[in-house]
Structures are given as C-alpha cells and as structure tokens.
Amino acid sequence: ENGFKRPAKLQQMDSPLKQFQEDFEPTPLYMAIITYINYGVITLFGFLRDFLRKHGFEKNHASAEAGDMDGFVSLYASFENFYTRNIYNRLHDVFNRPICSAPGPVIKIMEREFSQSGWSYKFTGKVLDGIVNLGSYNYLGFAENSGVCAEASIKAIQQYGNGVCSSRCEVGNLDIHAELEEKMARYLDVDACVTFGMGFATNSMNIPCLVGKGCLILSDELNHASLVLGCRLSGANVTIFKHNDMKDLELKLRNAIVNGQPRGYRPWRKILIIVEGVYSMEGSIINLPEVLKLKKKYKAYVFLDEAHSIGALGATGRGVTEYFGIHPKEVDVMMGTFTKSFGAAGGYIAGTKSLVEHLRAKSHSACYATSMAPPVCRQILSSLEVISATEEGKRRIQKLASNCKMFRQGLKKLGFIVYGNDDSPVVPALIYSPCKVGAFSREMLSRGFGVVVVGFPATPIVEARVRFCISAALTEKNLQDALDAISSIGDILQIKYKK
Amino acid sequence: MHTGTTNQVANPNTVVWNSPGIWITYSILTAFMHLVLLSMPWFTTSVAWTLTNVVHGVGMYFFLHTIKGTPFETSDQGKYRYSTHWEQMDSGTQFTAARKFFMTTPIVLYILASFYSKYEFTHFVINTSILLLSLLPKLPQLHGVRLFGINKY
C-alpha cells in the first residue's frame, strides 16, 4: 500500500515516542531597554515629520480626501497610518519583494529603487539572480516548475482544463476530487477526508460548522488569523490559553466546566480545543500528548491545524501525530493545508466518516466556494505519491530533518537566540531592535540570501525576529553559506546575544 | 512589520506597558530628561526639578490622554479608535499594575520637585496643577469622559 505500518493497538500515551522540549529564552534586559528607546526615538521623529508634513514644511505624499468635504466625518484617521508612514515605509524595501521565478531553493528577485524615504519605488529593470531562498514554505521542495509533479499537472490541464467553474455541491465535483480525498484519507490513516480550494477558507468556513452558540472554543494564544476568524464567525464563546501552556489549558478547562455558560451557568454544549501542529512565528510544536490527555480527562474535542507540520514532521511526513507516535484517530478533527509541503493550494479536513459527511453537506465552502482546480489536485496527488511511496520522498523528508538540525545547531553555535522546538522546520532567530531587523534583511540580500523578517506589531514589541524556513531542496552548501553570511552580519550588527 | 497581520492580542497597544523592561526604560528616560535639564547652567535646582515635573506631566497628558486610537491598524474593527491610550491600557480594566505605575510616577516626581524647590509658593502652585493634570484624567470615574466635547472624535 503506502508502505507504512501502523501499530496494531493504539499507542500507549504514557511513553510517547518523543520527549517534548521547547525553548523560549526571555529577552535580555539591556536589549529590551535599547529596543524601547529605538521605538521611542522613531516615534518622536514620526511626530516631528507628521508635524512638518501637516504644516507644509515637507511635501506630503499620502493621499488626501477631496477638499470640499467640510462638515463630513473624516473617512479615515490619519493616525492609524502613523506606523505605516513613519516606520514601515523606512523598511519598505525589506517586505513584498517581487519574485520572478518558481519559489524553489534559488530565486530571482526584481530589484527596486525606493525614493523619498519609502513612499514610492520603481523597478530598475535589473533582476537579482541566484538568491538563496530562506523564506518560502517549501519544506519538501515541491515548488518546482519541472519534474514528475509538473508534468502530471500539465497533463491534468490538457484533460480537465484550468478551472472548475462550479462548487462541489453543483457541477464542480470531479472524479479527481474524489481520488484526492480517498488518497489523502488513506495517507493520514483516517476514515475520510474532504478538501477545499483555499487553506484559509478551510478554517474560517468550517469551524462555524462544527461549533455554534452555546459551545466553548479554547484557542491557543498564537493561532493563525484563519482560526481566529473561524472562531469569531462561529458565534461560540472563545477563551484563549497561553501558548503551549498545558497547565493554563487545564485551568481554563476546569473553570469552564465548573462555571458553565456565562449567564445561567448551563453546561456547555461542546468544548473544542483548537491548536496548531507547528506555529510558524515561534517555531514551536504543540505538546500534543498532553493536549490529548486533557481532552480525554475533560471530554473535550480537539481540532488540530497541521498547516505547517503535514509533510514536514514525522518519519514519513504524516505530521505531528506521527512525530509523537500518536494514532491520528485520537484527534477528532485533523485539518491541514496543501500550500506548504505539497507545493499546491487548498486545505483538507479529515476525521471520522460522520464528521466528513456533515462537512460535505453543511460547509459554506462546499456549497458556495469553487472547488479545487484540477491541475492543483493533480499536483497534490503526484506530490503525495512521491512522499508516501517513493524513495525520492523518503530522501526529501530525511533531508528536511537533517537540514533543520544542521541549520538550527549552526545558529545556536554562532550565538543567536533561537526560539522553539529543535525539530520544527521553522527557525526564528531573534534580533529585537527594529533598525537591526531592516539592516539584517538588506545585508542578507546583498550577500545573495532572501529572508523574511518580522517585527512589531506582528510580534510582541521586544521580539522582532528573522524567520528562516528550511527546505529539503536547499543543499548543505546553501545552508553553510547562509550560516557564514549570518555570522558575518551578526558580528557587524552585534546580534549574537548568547555570547 | 506588516501592520495588518494577526497578533497575539487584537490591539498591541493594550499590553505594551506590561512588556518586560518597559517600566525601567521609562524611569531611565525620565531620569535622563531630568539630567539634561539639570545640566543647563541657567536653571537653578528648583527650576530644573519643577521643569522636569512640568515636561513629564504635559508629555504624559499629551501621549496618554490626548492622542486617540492606535498608530497601526488593528484587527478588532476599530474598537479603540476614539479611546485615548490610557483608556486602551489593559483593555479598560482598572487598577492593573501598569495603571498603578502611571499613577505613581507623577506623585513621586511631585514629591521630589516639592522637596527640591523647598516648598516655595510659585513652585508649589505649578507642581500641584501639573499633578492634578496628570492624575485627574486617570481616575476610573473619568474613564471615557470627555469634558465640554473636547477631544471627542
């Protein structure tokens, strides 16, 4: 079959295959003070520049409302764009870099020239070639424009055409969808699976199908926007527990069960715990054995979002359940996306047959959204084939694991503070200061490496970081060169905080 | 630093004063400002201390009680667009640690300024009015109150 053997009995929870460990070193105090002073100075200069722009001493490049709007309430508050004007615009060249090749291990970036402190840019016409890609979610290296998967997708276009032009409930239910769902269910070793055209919409459209008013959702602090939106749309009560903190989760569960619903103290209809397999901003892996222990003890349900962990964790890439040695039937709702490891688009939800039949009938995504395009389905099917049944797939998974290990140990040896679990394919290295964040990205680009940096307000104010995404397609040489470049920039910018 | 992405809290402004090390930074910056004023040769000690108190009080009033909304777009659909920073702190919960810190700093500066200005009358009047300007807007009873429609929208 797929060549994977499951243990005959369900794995005992008392001795999980993997000991759970993660590391979130707190910010050094001197660095926190310096970061706050940085933001303070930038903010003061922002106020000064705003003052100059308002009174005409400096040209105002922002758009303005029409002049004859006296007496109307203003359309937008210009203060809401303070950050964009004064801080984001200065770092404009570090974000939204246009790529003009497949997002593989090496990419081509179109060079831009910024003017007037980041208000506008134009393309210089030059294309930076050979930039090593450390930012794409290309965990198993399937972002290729040639090879088995690409050939299969081209044949699928020739057979089915490009689009489906209908939703699953109408005329958009193709045989390739059924084949994909069946293969995915067998790969995950669950009863059934249903797929949707968009990964974000899989979460936001299907959580309302599972819970509603009178239910409780316990959602991790750092859950993705799609999960947060799904929770809000469902109308259920949402309680947030601290990231990966099982004691906090247990406390909140107990409080919820003891107190019941807010007014009237009636018992909750359902309690759903929503967690992710791998959190992409922190590089941490969810403590799944503990979550399942709590679920059994307090009779709650678990929704596991494996967007970043499917294909990337586990000996055969079956995700965080395989990583911990837990049978997937223990998780009630297993959700994942095809955007990261499979190099396609879309998402799936897998579980028992009754759950999947319910979603097929009731999900908004199934009724109203267009179903997945056939070449995308074929891409997933062929990459799934490669991952689960060929030597090439095994090689890629092992390469990803060894790349992760090598890169993470390398960064730690250099003296960087790295967050998260040692086995996660996402490696965030902390930079703290907003100025160094911009400098790091620009220096890396000038040395031929494309990285993703994030700062406040996407992260807490003292935890601006650079987030490396390891790929199986990156060679040892790529990673070693990257580490050398990072080391030299780290010496210049003084960001090796552990030393 | 995408301004529209999801965060741990919908509005980071609500929790920024609970971040590690920010109280120390605030105290260091106030002390630095005081040293700058103290080092000017044409200010006597009394004037320098009173001026520190005044600059601190006026600055605090401007940043905490005049400016409304957030400097970035938040994912809570503009809930705090008409709230000052003081009202946004800890999402409006009263008597939290950060709020107590901000109640204490004007009082500490007032005591120090009164002491160093030897309780002279003019300095007393200025310092006390600055203290009232700093403390009155922070009272829980004045949460969300706009007097005479000033600063309402």
- Nearest chain B Cα distance for residue A234, angstroms: 16
Q: Is the pLDDT of residue B2 over 60?
A: no
On whether both A190 and A78 belong to a single domain, the answer is: no
Return the sign of the alpha-carbon dihedral for residues B60, B61, B63, B65.
positive
Q: What is the pLDDT of residue A5?
A: 55
In a domain, A30, yes or no: no
Asked if residue A240 lies in contact with residue A220, where contact means CB atoms within 8 angstroms, the answer is yes
Torsions phi, psi for A341 (to 5 deg) = -80, -25
In a domain, A16, yes or no: no
β pairing state of A237-241 and A284-285: unpaired
Among B1, B21, B28, the residue with its CB nearest the CB of A87 is B1
Asked if residue B34 lies in contact with residue A45, where contact means CB atoms within 8 angstroms, the answer is no
On whether both A81 and A224 belong to a single domain, the answer is: no
On whether both A199 and A320 belong to a single domain, the answer is: yes
Residue B8's pLDDT band, with cuts at 50, 70 and 90, is low
On whether both A474 and A343 belong to a single domain, the answer is: no
Q: Along the 499 residues of chain A, how does pLDDT read in single tens digits? A: 455 555 544 444 445 566 778 888 888 999 999 999 999 999 999 999 999 988 888 888 877 777 777 788 777 778 888 998 888 888 889 999 999 999 999 999 999 999 877 888 999 999 999 999 999 999 999 998 999 999 999 999 999 999 899 999 989 999 999 999 999 999 999 999 999 999 999 999 999 999 999 999 999 989 998 999 999 999 999 999 999 999 999 999 999 999 999 988 999 999 999 999 999 888 999 999 999 999 999 999 999 999 999 999 988 999 999 999 999 999 999 999 999 999 999 999 999 999 999 999 999 888 899 999 999 999 999 999 999 999 999 999 999 999 999 999 999 999 999 998 989 999 999 999 999 999 999 999 999 999 999 988 888 889 999 999 999 999 999 999 999 999 999 999 999 988 7
Q: What is the pLDDT of residue A356?
A: 96
In a domain, A271, yes or no: yes
Asked if residue A172 lies in contact with residue A371, where contact means CB atoms within 8 angstroms, the answer is yes
Torsions phi, psi for A109 (to 5 deg) = -115, 135
Quote the ipTM score.
0.92
Torsions phi, psi for A115 (to 5 deg) = -130, 160
Alpha-carbon span B110 to A248, nearest angstrom: 41
Helix (H) or strand (E) holding A340, with range, is none
Last residue of a domain, one of A389, A404, A433: A389
In terms of DSSP H, where are the helices of A363-390?
364-368, 374-389
On whether both A301 and A405 belong to a single domain, the answer is: no
In a domain, A253, yes or no: yes
If one counts every other C-beta atom within 10 angstroms of the C-beta of residue A19, the result is: 8
On whether both A325 and A408 belong to a single domain, the answer is: no
On whether both A366 and A264 belong to a single domain, the answer is: yes
On whether both A349 and A275 belong to a single domain, the answer is: yes
User: Cβ separation of A80 and B71 shorter than 8 Å?
Assistant: yes
In a domain, A141, yes or no: no
Q: Which domain holds residue A292?
A: 148-389
User: Cβ separation of B8 and A460 shorter than 8 Å?
Assistant: yes
Cis peptide before A457 (omega within 30 of 0): yes
Whole-number Cα distances in Å, A495 to A416, A418, A436, A457, B11: 7, 12, 8, 21, 28
On whether both A465 and A333 belong to a single domain, the answer is: no
User: Cβ separation of A29 and B5 shorter than 8 Å?
Assistant: no
Last residue of a domain, one of A373, A389, A405: A389
Return the sign of the alpha-carbon dihedral for residues A130, A136, A140, A145.
negative
On whether both A261 and A176 belong to a single domain, the answer is: yes
Rounded to 10°, the helix B97-116/B121-135 angle is: 170
On whether both A114 and A201 belong to a single domain, the answer is: no
Interchain contact A79–B (C-beta under 8 A): yes
- The one-letter code for the residue type at A250 is E
On whether both A315 and A257 belong to a single domain, the answer is: yes
Q: What is the pLDDT of residue B76?
A: 80
Alpha-carbon span A478 to A468, nearest angstrom: 13
Interchain contact A82–B (C-beta under 8 A): yes
Rounded to 10°, the helix B121-135/B45-60 angle is: 20
User: Cβ separation of A457 and B25 shorter than 8 Å?
Assistant: no
Question: Which CATH number belongs to the domain containing residue A287 in this structure?
Answer: 3.40.640.10
Question: Which CATH number belongs to the domain containing residue A446 in this structure?
Answer: 3.90.1150.10
Q: What is the pLDDT of residue B151?
A: 86
In a domain, A98, yes or no: no
Asked if residue A454 lies in contact with residue A282, where contact means CB atoms within 8 angstroms, the answer is no
Domain tally, chain A: 3
* Cα–Cα nearest to A308, from A492, A97, A138: A138
User: Cβ separation of A458 and B1 shorter than 8 Å?
Assistant: yes
Among A37, A79, A222, the residue with its CB nearest the CB of B67 is A79
User: Cβ separation of A458 and B73 shorter than 8 Å?
Assistant: no
- Nearest chain A Cα distance for residue B72, angstroms: 5
Torsions phi, psi for B27 (to 5 deg) = -65, -40
Last residue of a domain, one of A389, A423, A446: A389
Asked if residue B9 lies in contact with residue B15, where contact means CB atoms within 8 angstroms, the answer is yes
How much is the pTM? 0.89
Q: How far apart are the first and last CA of chain B?
A: 28
In a domain, A13, yes or no: no
Cis peptide before B12 (omega within 30 of 0): no
A412: exposed, middle or buried (C-beta count within 10 Å: 0-12, 13-18, 19+)?
A: middle
Interchain contact A274–B (C-beta under 8 A): no
